[in-house]
Amino acid sequence: MTRALKGLGVAMVTPFDTEGKIDYPALQRLVKHLHTGADFLVVMGTTGEVATLNPTEQMAVLDAVIDYNAEKLPIVFGIGGNNTANVCEEMARFDRAGVTAFLSASPAYNKPTQEGIYRHYMALSEASNLPIILYNVPGRTASNVLPATVKRIAQAADKVLGIKEAAGNMEQVMELSRILPESFLLLSGDDALALPQMVCGGHGIISVIGNAYPKLFGDAVRSALARDFKIARDKHFSLLPMMQLIFAEGNPGGVKEVLKYMGICGNDMRLPLYPVSDVLSEKIRAEMGGLG
């Protein structure tokens, strides 16, 4: 199971048309594009604007991706929230074939203690019929899942098989790598930190820029996993300026701008998110020219 979820996972954007409706032809183009270099797909994460899609829309997007993917790549589906009982119920009643695991962020807004976070994931593990990837993103949740807590979860929660670590703290990454079992997936949640995290023992990334550059970034990630750090470094550094640009005005506005210029999908988003400024758009287009 864990072997299937190593390498480049892509946190897929959700394409919309100019009226804010899901753009399924664009979604199909995106899946085809991701088949050129991704190792697995992640549907309904933050990058997919899950907060502005209702449950029916979320499942419709998932069903479409399962169809377009045609079993070529593993699929991870995002289910999370700050009401543990509701998340457990969603996971327990989930009945879609073609999904390998769930991605579930630590509860936001409530700011639970480490004990509360531990018990949250223990409850999810008991309720779920699928493996779970814990997602630590303190910048969005307002609480950090500390390495000692992750270790407790890894040892006690049978269904939790890994973590998407996006605290942006390399010392924390090193501590996770030091104390976690090798079998427990350690995935980066920050594009720019994917390379150093894999040097420290990480197994890959769930990426935003991978939407636009699955082949280039996928080759960088797989080279790092193979310990060919010269190739990994060259490819990673070639994308580093673009990584910085696409997050300059928030996610997923930046990467949708790249995808717009690539002709894969439009840059439309649902409020309160809004497309990037004209100034940033021109910088992105210029950087795309350098990447080819």
Which residues are identified as catalytic?
135, 164
Q: 165 burial class (0-12, 13-18, 19+ CB within 10 angstroms)?
A: buried
CB contact at 8 A, 249 and 276:
yes
Partners of 10 in beta bridges: 41, 207
Query: Can you tell me the distance from the alpha carbon of 105 to that of 81, in angstroms, rounded to the nearest whole number?
Result: 7
- Give me the residue label for tokens 């933050």: 46
* Token code pair at residue 156: 């006690």
Q: One-letter amino acid identity for 159?
A: K
Query: Can you tell me the distance from the alpha carbon of 95 to that of 35, in angstroms, rounded to the nearest whole number?
Result: 25
User: What phi and psi values does residue 188 have, to the nearest 5 degrees?
Assistant: -75, 145
Distances (CA, A) of 106 to 22, 120, 146, 196: 27, 8, 11, 24
Cα four-point dihedral sign 141, 143, 147, 148: negative
Q: CB count, 10 Å around CB of 59?
A: 15
Partners of 11 in beta bridges: 42
